[in-house]
């Protein structure tokens, strides 16, 4: 059981390592070569924040522009977004503006976005400096981290920090929790006697 | 019991036997009995009002039961009449030879069906329309080939018959069928020729061919009259011995009944009715021994001797109660008539006759249940309007004038295209008459209304087709198993082995062509069984349009050469881009990079595509994949490269055999892309279109589930995005995908099978989705998790069921605008 369920979406150019990040986060393993994602894939994991069990339900989208019209529909109803670029490929960084624009226009305004510069293990091939990434994040009000899906560096943090931020927002009352379009669902209370909360949303997803 | 089902059914179909003035109202249907045999049935509604028929029609009824065994030539077909006025036609669809449809502008449309034995049934008048639907249904079961000469004439192509196959391969079929048909037409038309609504106005015809029109009293359609004459003319042109022989047959069959329709038990009229009572022959074993008043019992006795075991075998099964034969009427009749009729009916049976009949005492019991019939129908039969159609006349004359040699010369049209024409005829072509009469939507459901339940035939129909028994156009909740197609189709699939090399080679003629008829067998075969692995490499280029089926060995060599040149030309275009050039050609650079990136993550576990040291060059097949994709992106620059293409290419490479077949790989891939190009358009219109078709189809088939999805953001059907985009490449194991794709490429029945597959996958989960009130994300997860856990055969069987269901259902609600739209988005062949 969980207290909250947060929905995430992972976006970014194709080949930046979105699926690998997800796999590292959910399965704690790295697959050097991952099937390319078509449409949307799905992952979930429980984390704990402030002693509360939080389920992260993560949508991993296809990166190629051709699929944009489909992936856009997943923005809606997401509480958090991981916007990923590849620090070894400049163009993936250059496209961030596009992605961000998309996210802003199709997601709810309260969506928490984290910018992720992936493949930090490939320092020798770096094409985007940490500072550039940092700066872009600051300018756009995003959380920022450089990660490596391969070494698992910062992967956990990326997902958890985002969740913390969302949790913060909940505490501040930024969300109408009962409105599922924010990508947040209230889990069933651990003591299952609250009759009013008899619909443990997404409960079926719990393994 | 559950294996019997109705594939099509249409009420208000009249037959006008000469003896019965008002005609007989009945229901025509296609029903599948156990073991998958499909029969065309016509069963009279029960029955005329008693007062009606105790007087004049009682005598005519005895006509109907005349000892029709007198005609040896008529022994073939499976028709029987039983009791008073109860005419029944049941013929295995494989026994059909041709169908001629008449759709006069004014008046009742009708069809004339002939059997392979050259016997024409009485015309079936579709009082409330439905001819087109009937043909459509029928052609989903058997191959109907539209005549080149007469678009209203359809021959049944029997691919299982080697003679017919080879005839067909000689492109003679049209002529052949036509020539046969002319007499059929003649005979049937002589049956149907009209007396302008007046039985007194006789028209004497060709002396060779007896005219027993006079016995017919239907005032339906002057058109018939004209056509009849035409056919007479046409008949006189017939020259082949075959035709002459037929003519003789007919003359025997239909010796002119001098008697009027009121005659009772006159031998002549018996003969005329023998046209329908073909089930008999001259071995009247049972002679008049059975003086039982129970007609059905005599019938059942007689059936013991029948050789048509496929029918008989059914008599012991519950399906026997479907058997329309003994419609027990005796209760309604006065005793003398009964005696009469039983005397007459008893001789009918014979060992060799194939007439249908239900045997066994249980049937009698069943039948007696049907005596409580309420029938008042025949009255409206005579009131059809009359019209002459000069155009029709002209058309027929034209037809006559084309010589047999012309026919020889004519290349036969694909039976497929004939089918297609039937199906793709715009909805507006549907008989106005039908629309006027129906006024509202007629649905299968309404055809199977409980009012018909007193017809024993429908008892079974209702039982097996209960899902169709809905009052609305939409059926909820939907239960695919209730469609009852599945069992049979599943059997089809299981019984059909993959096409073997020897079979494949047997389809070629000496020059290496595969004739039209063989193509159809081939494609159907592939649809049901796929292809053996060893010959995929040879067959796929045909399925993917690299080579046309009618190309010869030598022409294929030419094509191969040309395609090789063409491929090399395009390939050189990107190969010649130097590194320096590339550095200033970012679009090319990124495209190439993306392709390389995707290639190594395509089927990376497949032995052919295992990657070496993180380098595409470590594996020649990966290189090949890149080259083909890159070349295609130059060949079709507008589309370029889109993710998913590599998934489409890898099976082709694995089947074609890798690098040595680079050119073939490319052109096969190109052929596949031709099919799927719209999936990869930038705006994804193709994908959206298909997914929205899926959604509409779901609405049509399972409104409840549709409504749920709509309310839960699932109306867009995005959970099938991947399945549709790359044709289930990732939803089934690799080897299954190969089979599936062959099946899809066979284009059998529909091009849109993937949509129906999605539908069947979704509907399999419908209860869970509804019970757990699943929202979009949960459904997506559910569907994603189904990948590689589904049984392909199972899904295909269900999908095919739904295609067939759709075909049948769509015909019955032609007036639904949204459905017409839906029909436009789904191509049914």
Highest-pLDDT range among B196-205, B333-342, B506-515, B769-778: B506-515
The confidence score (pLDDT) of residue B306 equals 31
Separation of alpha carbons B459 and B450, rounded Å: 9
Cβ of B722 within 8 Å of Cβ of A38? The answer is yes
Residue A16 in domain: yes
Q: Note whether residue B671 is domain-resident.
A: yes
Question: What is the percentage of chain B residues whose pLDDT exceeds 90?
Answer: 27
- Both B580 and B663 in one domain: the answer is yes
Q: Which candidate in B781, B784, B786, B788 is best for mutational testing of the A interface (most A CBs within 10 A)?
A: B781
**Residue that wins the pLDDT comparison between B195 and B523:** B523
Per-residue pLDDT at A90 exceeds 50: yes
**A17 is an annotated ligand-binding site residue:** yes
Nearest CB to B643; choose among A36, A41, A57: A36
Give B663→chain A minimum CA distance, Å. 26
Looking at beta carbons, which residues of chain B come within 8 Å of A94? Answer: none
Q: Per-residue pLDDT averaged across B10-24, rounded? A: 75
Backbone dihedral angles phi then psi of residue B331, each to the nearest 5 degrees:
-60, -25
Q: Which residues of A touch B602 (CB under 8 A)?
A: 35-36
Question: What confidence tier does B641 reach under pLDDT thresholds 50, 70, 90?
Answer: very high
Residue in A15, A69, A77 closest to B684 by CB:
A69
Q: Contact A38/B602, CB-based, under 8 Å? A: no
Query: Are A64 and B643 inside 8 Å of each other by CB?
Result: yes
Residues in B touching A198 (Cβ below 8 Å): none
Q: Which of B597, B643, B688 lies at the smallest CB-CB distance from A66?
A: B643
Residue B339 has pLDDT above 60, yes or no: no
Q: What is the mean pLDDT of residues B654-671?
A: 94
Preferred mutation among A22, A32, A36 to probe B, highest tally of B CBs within 10 A: A36
Tell me whether residue A203 is in a domain: no
Domains in chain B, number: 3
Neighbouring CB atoms inside 10 A of B593's CB total 14
The dihedral through the CA atoms of A189, A194, A195, A197 has a sign that is negative
A175 occurs within a structural domain? yes
CA distance B407 to B351: 40
Q: What is the mean pLDDT of chain A?
A: 87
DSSP E strands in B598-734: the ranges are none
- Residue B206: count other Cβ atoms within 10 Å of its Cβ: 15
Categorize the per-residue pLDDT at B812 as very low, low, confident or very high, splitting at 50, 70 and 90.
Answer: low
Distances (CA, A) of B322 to B2, B78, B118: 12, 15, 26
- A→B interface, C-beta within 8 Å: 7, 14-15, 32-36, 38-42, 57, 59, 62, 64-67, 69-70, 73, 77, 91, 202, 204-205
> Would you call B780 and A91 a contact, using CB atoms and an 8 Å cutoff?
no
Residue that wins the pLDDT comparison between B600 and B370: B600
For residue A67, the domain's CATH number is 3.40.50.300
Nearest to A73 among B614, B682, B716 (CB): B716
Looking at residue B35, what is its pLDDT?
A: 64
B-chain residues within 8 Å CB-CB of A202? 777-778
CATH number of the domain within which B702 lies:
1.10.472.80
Higher pLDDT, B224 or B721: B721
Residue B666 φ then ψ, to 5°: -60, -50
pLDDT at B410 over 80: no
Highest mean pLDDT, choosing among B249-263, B328-342, B448-462, B720-734: B720-734
Mean pLDDT of A172-193: 73
Using the beta-carbon criterion (under 8 Å), do B683 and A69 form an inter-chain contact? yes
Nearest CA in chain A to B691: A70
In a domain? residue B595: yes
The pLDDT confidence band at residue B160, using thresholds 50, 70 and 90, is low
- Rounded average pLDDT over B11-27: 76
Does A195 belong to an annotated binding site?
A: no
Are B720 and B758 a contacting pair, CB within 8 Å? yes
- Do B147 and B28 share a structural domain? yes
pLDDT for position B43? 81
Residue A36: is its pLDDT beyond 80? yes
**From the CA of A114, how many Å to the nearest CA of chain B?**
22
Continuous segment of H or E residues that includes residue B423 = helix B415-424
- Is B772 close to A15, i.e. CB distance below 8 A? no
| Residue A204 falls inside a structural domain | no
- Of B158, B185, B217, which closes a domain? B158
* d(CA A180, nearest CA chain B) in Å: 11
Instruction: Label residue A150 by pLDDT band (50, 70, 90).
Output: very high
Residue B105: the pLDDT is 64
What's the whole-number mean pLDDT along residues B284-296? 38
Do A69 and B611 count as a contact with CB atoms less than 8 A apart? no
Contact B604 A35 (CB under 8 A): yes
Report the domain count for chain A.
1
B601, B727, B779: best mutation site toward chain A, by most A Cβ within 10 Å? B601
Contact B601 A34 (CB under 8 A): yes
Residues B746 and B770 in one domain: yes
The CATH number covering residue B137 comes to 2.30.29.230
User: Is residue B180 over pLDDT 80?
Assistant: no
pLDDT at residue B230 above 70?
Answer: no
Which string of DSSP letters, residue by residue, matches B154-208?
EEEE-TT-HHHHHHHHTT-HHHHHHHHHHHHHHHHHHHH---TT-TT------SS
Q: How much is the pLDDT for B819?
A: 66
Q: Is residue B361 part of a domain?
A: no
Q: Work out the average pLDDT over A87-97.
A: 95
More confident residue, B772 or B194: B772
The backbone region for B171, taken as left when phi is positive above 0, alpha when psi lies in -120 to 50, beta otherwise, is: left
Contacts of A87 by beta carbon, 8 Å cutoff, 6+ apart:
A93, A117, A118, A119, A120, A122, A126, A127, A128, A133, A146
Asked if residue A198 belongs to a domain, the reply is no
pLDDT of residue B126: 83
Whole-number pLDDT of residue A129: 97
- Taking a C-beta distance cutoff of 8 angstroms, is the pair B92, B310 a contact? yes
CA dihedral B522, B523, B529, B532 (to 10 degrees): 60
Whether residue A141 is predicted with pLDDT greater than 90 in this model: the reply is: yes
For the segment A115-141, the average pLDDT, to the nearest whole number, is 96
Domain boundary among B158, B174, B196: B158
Measured between CA atoms, the residue of chain A closest to residue B647 is: A36
- Distance of alpha carbon B65 from alpha carbon B342, whole angstroms: 8
How much is the pLDDT for B484?
54
> What pLDDT shows up at residue A17?
94
- Asked, for residue B741, whether it belongs to a domain, the answer is yes
Q: Does residue B41 fall inside a structural domain?
A: yes
> CB–CB of B680 and A77 under 8 A?
no
Has residue A167 been placed in a domain?
A: yes
Domain assignment present for residue A193? The answer is no
Residue among A33, A70, A77 whose CB faces B718 most closely: A70
B125 inside domain? yes
Please report residues of B whose CB lies closer than 8 A to that of A14: 594, 597-598, 643
Interchain CB distance below 8 Å, B784 and A62: no
Check whether residue B565 and residue B586 sit in a common domain.
Answer: yes
Distance CA B324, CA B322 (A): 6
Q: Which residue of B has its CA nearest to A14?
A: B594
Interface mutation vs chain B, best among A38, A95, A127, most B CBs within 10 Å: A38
Q: Does pLDDT of B799 surpass 80? A: yes
- Provide the pLDDT for residue B307: 31
In a domain, B615, yes or no: yes
Q: Given a cut of 60, is residue B458 above it in pLDDT?
A: no
CA–CA dist B742, B544 (Å, integer)? 9
Q: Which pLDDT tens digit goes with each residue over B389-403?
A: 444 544 444 444 443
Let me know whether B701 and B770 are in one domain.
Answer: yes
Kind and range of the H or E run holding B519: helix B516-529
Name chain A contacts of B713, Cβ cutoff 8 Å: 77
Domain-ending residue, one of B645, B675, B705: B675
Query: Distance (Å) from the C-alpha of residue A29 to the closest C-alpha of chain B?
Result: 17
- Which chain B residues are Cβ-neighbours of A7 within 8 angstroms? 777
Are the beta carbons of B684 and A70 separated by less than 8 Å?
A: yes
Interval B63-85: pLDDT, tens: 333 333 333 223 333 344 444 44
- Position A169 scores a pLDDT of 92
| Tokens of residue B521, six digits | 């067998």
Least confident stretch, B99-103, B537-541, B626-630: B99-103
Mean pLDDT, residues B561-589 = 94
Q: What's the domain range around B640?
A: 553-675
Predicted pLDDT of residue B775: 85
Q: Name the residue with higher pLDDT: B36 or B496.
A: B496
How many other CB atoms are there within 10 angstroms of residue B768's CB atom?
13
Same domain, B150 and B26: yes
- A163 domain-assigned: yes
Mean pLDDT, residues B83-110: 72
CB contact under 8 A, A69 and B688: yes
- Please tell me whether A14 is known to bind a ligand: yes
pLDDT of residue B671: 97
pLDDT band of residue A189 (cuts 50, 70, 90) is: low
- Residue B536 to residue B729: CA distance in whole angstroms: 17
Whether the per-residue pLDDT at B191 is higher than 60: the answer is no
Token couple for B437: 């009469």
Kindly report the CATH number assigned to the domain that includes residue B634. Answer: 1.10.8.270
Categorize the per-residue pLDDT at B637 as very low, low, confident or very high, splitting at 50, 70 and 90.
Answer: very high
Numbered residues of chain B with Cβ closer than 8 Å to any chain A Cβ: 590, 594, 597-598, 600-602, 604, 611, 614, 642-644, 646-647, 680, 682-684, 687-688, 713, 716, 718, 721-722, 725-726, 730, 772, 774, 777-778, 780-781, 784
Which pLDDT tens digit goes with each residue over B124-134? Answer: 888 777 888 88
Q: Is residue B733 part of a domain?
A: yes
The 3-state DSSP class for residue B142 equals coil
Tokens of B207: 């002396």
In a shared domain, residues B668 and B691: no
Average pLDDT over residues A14-25: 94
pLDDT at A89 over 90: yes
Which residues of A are less than 8 Å from B590 in CB distance?
Answer: 91
A110 labelled binding-site residue: no
- Overall average pLDDT of the A51-71 stretch: 90
Task: Give me chain B's average pLDDT, please.
Answer: 64
| 3-class SS of residue B265 | coil
Whether residues B745 and B819 fall in one domain: yes
What are residue B549's phi and psi, to 5 degrees?
-65, -25
Model confidence pLDDT, tens digit, residues B693-738:
999 889 888 889 999 999 988 889 999 999 999 999 999 999 999 9
Q: Give the contacts of A123 (CB within 8 A, at least 6 positions apart).
A: none
Sheet of B24-32, strands arranged across: B79-81, B87-92, B38-44, B24-32, B5-15, B124-126, B110-115, B96-102, B153-157, B143-146
Q: What domain range includes position A58? A: 4-186
Cα–Cα distances (Å) from B125 to B107, B197, B333, B571, B667, in that order, read 10, 15, 27, 62, 51
């Amino acid at each position: 059981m969980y207290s909250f369920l947060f929905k995430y979406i992972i976006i970014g150019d194709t080949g930046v390592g979105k699926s690998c990040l997800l796999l590292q986060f959910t399965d704690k393993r790295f697959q050097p070569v991952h099937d390319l994602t078509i449409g949307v894939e799905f992952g979930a994991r429980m984390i704990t924040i402030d002693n509360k069990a939080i389920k992260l339900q993560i949508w991993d989208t296809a990166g190629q522009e051709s699929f944009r019209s489909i992936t856009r529909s997943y923005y809606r109803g997401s509480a958090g977004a991981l916007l990923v670029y590849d620090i070894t490929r400049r163009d993936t960084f250059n496209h961030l503006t596009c992605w961000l624009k998309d996210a802003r226009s199709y997601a709810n305004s309260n969506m928490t976005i984290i910018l992720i510069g992936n493949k930090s293990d490939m320092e020798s091939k770096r094409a985007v400096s940490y500072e550039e990434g940092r700066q872009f994040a600051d300018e756009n009000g995003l959380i920022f981290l450089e990660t490596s899906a391969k070494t698992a560096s910062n992967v956990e943090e990326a997902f958890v920090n985002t969740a913390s931020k969302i949790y913060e927002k909940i505490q501040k009352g930024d969300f109408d929790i009962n409105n599922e379009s924010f990508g947040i669902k209230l889990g069933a209370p651990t003591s299952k006697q609250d009759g009013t909360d008899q619909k443990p949303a997404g409960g079926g997803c719990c393994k | 019991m559950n294996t019997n089902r109705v594939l099509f059914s249409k009420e208000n179909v009249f037959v006008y036997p000469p003896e019965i003035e008002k005609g007989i109202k009945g229901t025509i249907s296609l029903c599948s009995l156990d073991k998958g045999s499909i029969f065309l049935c016509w069963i009279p509604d029960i029955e005329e009002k008693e007062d009606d028929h105790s007087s004049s029609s009682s005598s005519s009824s005895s006509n109907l039961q005349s000892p029709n065994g007198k005609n040896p030539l008529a022994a073939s077909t499976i028709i029987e009449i039983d009791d008073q006025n109860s005419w029944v036609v049941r013929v295995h669809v494989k026994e059909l030879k041709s169908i001629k449809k008449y759709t006069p502008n004014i008046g009742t449309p009708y069809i004339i069906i002939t059997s392979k034995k050259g016997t024409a049934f009485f015309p079936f008048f579709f009082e409330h329309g439905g001819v087109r639907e009937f043909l459509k249904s029928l052609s989903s079961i058997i191959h109907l080939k539209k005549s080149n000469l007469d678009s209203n004439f359809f021959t049944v192509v029997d691919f299982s018959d080697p003679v017919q196959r080879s005839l067909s391969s000689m492109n003679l079929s049209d002529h052949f069928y036509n020539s046969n048909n002319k007499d059929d037409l003649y005979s049937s038309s002589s049956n149907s020729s009209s007396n302008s609504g007046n039985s007194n106005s006789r028209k004497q015809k060709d002396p060779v061919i007896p005219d027993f029109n006079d016995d017919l009293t239907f005032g339906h359609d002057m058109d018939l009259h004209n056509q009849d004459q035409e056919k007479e003319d046409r008949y006189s042109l017939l020259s082949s011995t075959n035709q002459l022989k037929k003519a003789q047959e007919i003359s025997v069959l239909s010796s002119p009944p001098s008697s009027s329709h009121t005659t009772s038990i006159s031998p002549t009229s018996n003969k005329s009715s023998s046209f329908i009572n073909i089930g008999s022959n001259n071995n009247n074993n049972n002679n008049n021994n059975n003086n039982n008043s129970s007609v059905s019992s005599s019938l059942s006795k007689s059936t013991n001797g029948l050789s048509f075991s496929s029918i008989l075998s059914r008599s012991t099964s519950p399906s026997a109660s479907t058997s329309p034969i003994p419609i027990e009427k005796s209760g309604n009749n006065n005793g003398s008539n009964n005696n009469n009729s039983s005397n007459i009916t008893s001789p009918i049976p014979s060992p060799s006759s194939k007439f249908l009949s239900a045997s066994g005492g249980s049937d009698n019991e069943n039948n007696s249940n049907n005596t409580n019939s309420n029938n008042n129908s025949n009255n409206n039969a005579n009131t059809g309007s009359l019209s002459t159609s000069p155009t029709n006349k002209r058309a027929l004359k034209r037809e006559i004038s084309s010589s047999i040699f012309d026919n020889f010369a004519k290349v036969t049209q694909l039976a497929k295209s004939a089918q297609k024409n039937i199906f793709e005829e715009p909805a507006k072509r549907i008989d106005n008459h039908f629309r006027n009469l129906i006024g509202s939507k007629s649905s299968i459901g309404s055809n199977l209304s409980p009012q018909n339940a007193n017809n024993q035939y429908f008892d079974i129909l209702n039982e097996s087709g209960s899902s169709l028994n809905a009052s609305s156009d939409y059926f909820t909740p939907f239960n695919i198993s209730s469609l009852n197609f599945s069992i049979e189709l599943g059997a089809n699939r299981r019984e059909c082995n993959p096409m073997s090399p020897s079979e494949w080679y047997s389809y070629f003629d000496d020059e290496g062509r595969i004739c039209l008829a063989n193509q159809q067998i081939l494609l159907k075969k592939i649809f049901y069984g796929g292809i053996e692995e060893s010959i995929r490499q040879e067959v796929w280029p045909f399925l993917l349009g690299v080579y046309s089926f009618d190309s010869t060995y030598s022409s294929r060599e030419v094509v191969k050469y040309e395609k090789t040149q063409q491929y090399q030309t395009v390939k050189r275009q990107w190969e010649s881009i130097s590194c320096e050039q590339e550095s200033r050609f970012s679009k090319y650079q990124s495209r190439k990079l993306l392709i390389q990136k995707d290639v190594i993550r395509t089927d990376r576990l497949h032995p052919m595509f295992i990657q070496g040291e993180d380098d595409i060059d470590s594996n020649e097949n990966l290189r090949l994949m890149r080259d083909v994709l890159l070349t295609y992106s130059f060949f079709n620059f507008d589309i370029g490269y889109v993710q998913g293409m590599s998934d489409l290419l890898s099976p082709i490479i694995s089947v074609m055999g890798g690098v040595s077949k680079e050119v073939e790989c490319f052109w096969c891939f190109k052929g596949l892309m031709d099919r799927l190009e719209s999936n990869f358009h930038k705006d994804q219109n193709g994908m959206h279109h298909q997914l929205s078709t899926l959604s509409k189809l779901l609405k049509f088939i399972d409104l409840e589930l549709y409504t749920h999805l709509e309310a839960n953001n699932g109306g867009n059907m995005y959970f099938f995005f991947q399945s549709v985009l790359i044709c289930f490449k990732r939803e089934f194991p690799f080897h299954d995908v190969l089979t599936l794709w062959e099946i899809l490429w066979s284009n059998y029945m529909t091009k849109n099978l993937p949509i129906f597959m999605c539908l069947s996958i979704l509907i399999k989960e419908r209860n869970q989705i509804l019970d757990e009130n699943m929202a979009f994300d949960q459904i997506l997860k559910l569907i994603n998790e189904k990948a590689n856990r589904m049984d392909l055969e199972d899904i295909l069987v269900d999908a095919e069921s739904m295609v067939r269901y759709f075909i049948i259902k769509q015909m019955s609600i032609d007036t639904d605008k949204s459905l017409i739209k839906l029909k436009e988005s789904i191509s049914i062949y």
